[in-house]
Every structure is written in structure tokens, then in C-alpha cells.
Amino acid sequence: MNAPNDLSAFWMPFTANRQFKAAPRMLTSAEGMFYRTDTDREVLDATAGLWCVNAGHCRPKIVEAVQRQVAELDYAPAFQMGHPKAFELASRLAAIAPEGLDHVFYTNSGSEAVETALKIALAYHKAKGQGGRTRLIGRERGYHGVNFGGISVGGIVNNRRVFGPLVPGVDHLPHTHLPQNAWTRGQPEHGADLADDLERLVALHGAETIAAVIVEPVAGSTGVLLPPKGYLERLREITRKHGILLIFDEVITGFGRVGAPFAADRFGVTPDMITCAKGLTNGTIPMGAVIASSEIHDAFMNGPDHLIELFHGYTYSGTPVACAAGLATLDTYRDEGLFERTQELEDRWADMLHGLRDCRNVIDVRNIGLIGAIELQPMEGQPTKRAFQAFLDAFEKGLMIRTTGDIIAMSPPLIIEQEHIDRIGETLRGVLKALD
Ligand code: PXG
């Protein structure tokens, strides 16, 4: 039995539970760029929560929209019924999505968006009479959430290896992280040819067996890996040539993170489907979505019209409160010009990050949009320990960062000001100096 109010009952996700419970880090409120802790300390949020609070914390318009909605229509069945805001938000999303991506399927998370996109890809080929296309291709070091489809196409070893045989018929492209690209600002020069590995997989398996390729345009979770110049274009060319669908997992890169609505816009490459979540509701209410092309959507719209076209969906697909949060979030991004703001800040953000290259143990710095990574030399025989120490020390010094392996990853709210950028730089310099 647990004592009431002790910390043991909550089995925390992706957390060193014993370490946390011995020395808890409790957040109790937030506003704008800052969290407050239970000891009334202010912590500068350099990660937008978990890459999701793009407009900053507790923005009044979003808070009010959620409060109003929950009092007006708390829940509406998602199957065979509708409510106006679900349609309005879908139209707004289609309007900011790349040309041709016009149809929105709602989920509650990025993980569910990934499962949904993979299932749509398989069902699409079946609907087109190409049911032999069942193979899915992901990429090494890819993160596509934690459900079975996502970890199967994903390439983060710790997320896969204790979970059994996973989904069959999956293969992986090589990741795009090359040592000769170290210290690059923005997209690296070398590595476009890594996309040609897809031709090898096509030759190996046969194009007629491959349904889809899924990649993050910028790999986030694994520690910020940028697409080499020309790489995504090449992937698009090869997938199109072989009738393979291309899915961009934009759970992190969507909603202004790279200075455009989606990374697809930033890189000028349009996939067949985009998965998104996080910034869709500014992190307030769980929500994800798949934005699919008309070509895909329309392939399902046949047969007798009283029949369900796609046997998929969630109790909470497009709940009123999530849609209200999404609409108010999109209003906030638009009214405050936050995607453009990210473009304007990108260089100054990069200057701060690359200014830390001379610090001890730093072996690479990478950036794009308002994303940054500082890679540390791992401690001999104790990988991840040095970065974890940096995380703990930064928190003590009033700065929230994320670490993955020995990489510090940052993704501040898009409302960040120069003074915050300076403060992040100064605090990190102190943290890196004090590291073993
Ligand atoms: N795809 C991508 C590209 C993601 O980054 C997911 C899918 C899954 O989303 P959900 O909503 O199911 O968590 C993600 C999530 C980190 C971090 O610190 C990254 C994520 C989640 C939590 C922490 O890198 N990415």
C-alpha cells in the first residue's frame, strides 16, 4: 500500500523514476516563457514543455476558449455525429497545410497520428487494388511515438528492443547524421545520397511490396538530426517514381518550429501525408492529426454511401474542447505572426548556440528554426550521464532543457525574446563549465 500523497503510485513515463522520487522536480504553474516550481522558483522553459507549447504558456485566448467550450459542449460522439468546431479546425488546418493536403483525420497524440497514417497507407493501396503493398519503411534513429507501428518503423533502439518482434515487413533507411557535417548551421551539405538507399530497398523487396516511407523531416527526439541539402527532395523523387507514399512525421516540426507552418513548406517538399500533434493545441489539450492528400482520401470515397469508408477512429477523435483549443491556438499563431517571428529569430538563436562550441566536452552544435542541439562527449563507460548531469544542473540554475543520450536539445516557445536567448546561453555556459 502506498501512503496517501506519496510519490510511488505514479509510474512516470520516460523517467528515471527512482532518481525523480528521491529528488522531485515539481512544476506548479506557468506563464509565457516560464514555469514555477513548488519551491516558488522561476524556470525558463527552453523546451516549450515537450516541444509543444509553441505560443508560450497559459495564453489567455486559448485558456478562455477551452473554459468556454467545456461549459458549452463537453463531449460529442465522434462516430456518425459531428460538431461544428471539428469541421472548422479541419478546414483551417487544410488551409495552412501544403497544397493538395486537404483532409484531416483527428487523433489524440502523435503516436496515434502515426498509427493512423500507417493504417491509411495500407488501406489506400488495398483500395487501389494494390494490396501487395504492405511493407513500411522508416529510418534509423527515427522516433514515431511509442505504439507498435511507430516503434516498428522507428529506429531508436531502446524504444524497440525489449518489446518483442513488432510489426512484420518493416525496413529502415540509414540515418542522416554524418561526422563531416559537424558544426553546421541549418541544413548540412553532405548526405543527400543517403536517400538513394531507398532504391536499394526497392531492388531488394520490389516496389510492389512497399506501401510507405515515413521520416521526420528533422529528427527531433533522437537529438536533432537535420536533413542534408537535397535529401528530402531525393526521397520524394524516388517514392513518387515507385508509387510509394511519403509520410512526413511533423509532430515536432509542425506549427512554426522551423519558421513555416510545416517543415514541408520550409524544405519545399510535399509528402502524401503529414502527422502532427503537440503545437496543434499548444500542448493544452491532447490532440493529433493526420493531414492526407485528396488523392488518398478520395480513394476511399466509393461504394454504397451508407457504408463506413475507413474502419478506424478514437472515442476522442476531435473532441469539442481539443478543437476549441486548436482553433484558439491557430488564431494566436496567426495574430502574433509567430511562424514569421521564428524565421526572424533563427540567426540569433543559432549565434547563441554556436557561441558555445568552445565549451569543454562539446563535440557538435546543430540548429534549424527554433530548434537547437549541443552534443557532448559521453563519459567513458557511462553514456548519457554527462548530459543528465547538465539537465539537473540547468534546472537548479533556473533553466529547463531536454537531454537525449548525450545530446542537449532545446526548442523554446516561439515568443522567446533576445533577453531569454542570452539567459539560456549564459546559463548553459555555466552548466557546461561545471560538468565533469
Ligand atoms: N512523432 C514524432 C516525430 C515525435 O517527436 C511522436 C511522434 C509521438 O507523439 P506523442 O504525442 O504520442 O508523444 C513524437 C513525440 C523529446 C520528446 O524530448 C519527444 C516527443 C515526445 C516526448 C519527448 O524529444 N516526441
Q: What is the pLDDT of residue 130?
A: 98
5 pLDDT higher than 80: no
Mean pLDDT of the chain: 97
Q: What is the pLDDT of residue 405?
A: 96
Q: Give how far Cα 75 sits from Cα of 51, 60, 311, 317, Å.
A: 27, 22, 21, 11
Report residue 83 CA to chain centroid gap: 27
Residues 22-49: pLDDT tens digits? 999 999 999 999 999 999 999 999 999 9
Mean pLDDT along residues 411-416: 98
Nearest CA to ligand 1 atom 22: 50
Q: Do the domains 17-55+337-434 and 63-335 sit in the same CATH topology, yes or no?
A: no
Q: 4: pLDDT confidence band, cut at 50, 70 and 90? A: low
- The second-level CATH assignment, the architecture, of 17-55+337-434 is Alpha-Beta Complex (3.90)
* C-alpha cell, 363: 563535440
- State if residue 402 touches ligand 1 by the CB under 6 angstroms criterion: yes
Strand 362-368 and strand 27-31: pairing?
Answer: unpaired
CA of 428 to the centre of ligand 1 (A): 24
Residues 190-245: pLDDT tens digits? 999 999 999 999 999 999 999 999 999 999 999 999 999 999 999 999 999 999 99
Cell 537548479 belongs to residue: 396
Cell 485566448 belongs to residue: 61
Residues 112-139: pLDDT tens digits? 999 999 999 999 999 999 999 999 999 9
Cβ atoms of 323 and 85 closer than 8 Å: yes
Whether the full predicted model's pTM is greater than 0.85, yes or no, is: yes
Percent of the chain with pLDDT over 70: 99
Mean pLDDT along residues 42-60: 98
Q: What is the pLDDT of residue 424?
A: 98
Residues 166-191: pLDDT tens digits? 999 999 999 999 999 999 999 999 99
* Sequence ranges of the domains in the chain: 17-55+337-434, 63-335
Contacts of 56 (CB under 8 A, 6+ apart): 31, 32, 33, 413, 414, 415
- State if residue 143 touches ligand 1 by the CB under 6 angstroms criterion: yes
Q: What would you measure as the largest C-alpha separation in the chain, in angstroms? A: 68
CA quadruple 287, 292, 298, 299: dihedral positive or negative?
negative
80 pLDDT higher than 80: yes
Contacts of 83 (CB under 8 A, 6+ apart): 73, 76, 320, 323
394 pLDDT higher than 90: yes
Q: What is the pLDDT of residue 34?
A: 99
Mean pLDDT along residues 321-340: 98
Report the CATH fold assignment for 63-335.
Answer: Aspartate Aminotransferase; domain 2 (3.40.640)
Nearest CA to ligand 1 atom 21: 50
CA of 237 to the centre of ligand 1 (A): 27
Mean pLDDT along residues 9-20: 96
Comparing CA positions, the residue from 210, 246, 199, 202 lying closest to residue 135 is 210
CA of 2 to the centre of ligand 1 (A): 31
Q: What is the pLDDT of residue 1?
A: 57
CA of 275 to the centre of ligand 1 (A): 11
- State if residue 319 touches ligand 1 by the CB under 6 angstroms criterion: no
Cβ atoms of 327 and 146 closer than 8 Å: no
